[in-house]
């Protein structure tokens, strides 16, 4: 299995597929914000940043997927972004559950990006916080947006971990060996 994954990771199309799925998630978030008027909270924005990190990771490796250093860098960025997104989605699910059970909780109203990465200032239409945490405006199959983000980020993290581990596999150059 790891040899197959390593072989796939050295091709362009899987990285393009990863980029397209992350881009689709970014576009879905913007659709919910601008077409359905569901305003993103701070956690939603941080989840968008995680999807953007996965997109950047995929585009980075698309440059030269056969170069090990680039592939490792991209995979580590993918894994880090997915874990960050998973953490943010889990926190948002916890906030939703607290509010649904009658509790009280709150979150920040402004993003806390570092000065060197002021995404909310550079691209406010994508990364500016305009809502508050905990409002459940949408559900599908019993999961909220935060719940689906948690599922997707867990799948991204597991996939990235498997790809990272597969880089340790040695590929045979002999066409008669498996």
Question: Pick the catalytic residue: 41, 66, 150, 177?
Answer: 41
Q: How many C-beta neighbours within 10 Å does residue 124 have?
A: 13
Active site residue 12: no
Active site residue 44: yes
Rounded to 5°, the CA angle 103-109-110 comes to: 150
Query: Distance between alpha carbon 19 and the CA centroid of its chain, in Å?
Result: 10
Question: Pick the catalytic residue: 44, 150, 173, 177?
Answer: 44
Question: Pick the catalytic residue: 12, 66, 71, 107?
Answer: 107
Helix or strand (DSSP H, E) at 143: strand 143-144
Active site residue 41: yes
**Distance separating alpha carbons of residues 89 and 95, to the nearest angstrom:** 10
**Distance separating alpha carbons of residues 43 and 74, to the nearest angstrom:** 24
Question: Pick the catalytic residue: 12, 48, 71, 177?
Answer: 48
**Distance separating alpha carbons of residues 40 and 46, to the nearest angstrom:** 10
Question: Pick the catalytic residue: 66, 133, 173, 177?
Answer: 133
The residues carrying an active-site annotation are 41, 44, 48, 107, 133
């Amino acid at each position: 299995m790891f040899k197959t994954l390593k072989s796939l990771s050295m091709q362009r199309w899987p990285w393009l597929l990863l980029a397209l799925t992350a881009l689709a998630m970014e576009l879905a978030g913007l659709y919910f914000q601008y077409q359905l008027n569901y305003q993103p909270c701070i956690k939603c924005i941080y989840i968008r940043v995680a999807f953007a990190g996965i997109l950047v990771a995929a585009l980075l490796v698309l440059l030269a997927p056969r170069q090990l250093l680039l592939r490792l860098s991209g995979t580590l960025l993918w894994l880090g972004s997915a874990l960050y997104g998973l953490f943010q989605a889990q926190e948002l699910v916890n906030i939703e559950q607290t509010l649904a059970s009658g509790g009280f909780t709150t979150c920040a109203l402004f993003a806390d990006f570092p000065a060197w990465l002021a995404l909310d200032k550079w691209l406010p239409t994508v990364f500016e916080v305009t809502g508050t945490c905990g409002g459940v405006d949408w559900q599908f199959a019993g999961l909220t947006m935060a719940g689906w983000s948690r599922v997707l980020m867990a799948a991204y993290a597991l996939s990235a971990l498997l790809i990272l581990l597969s880089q340790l596999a040695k590929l045979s150059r002999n066409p008669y060996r498996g």
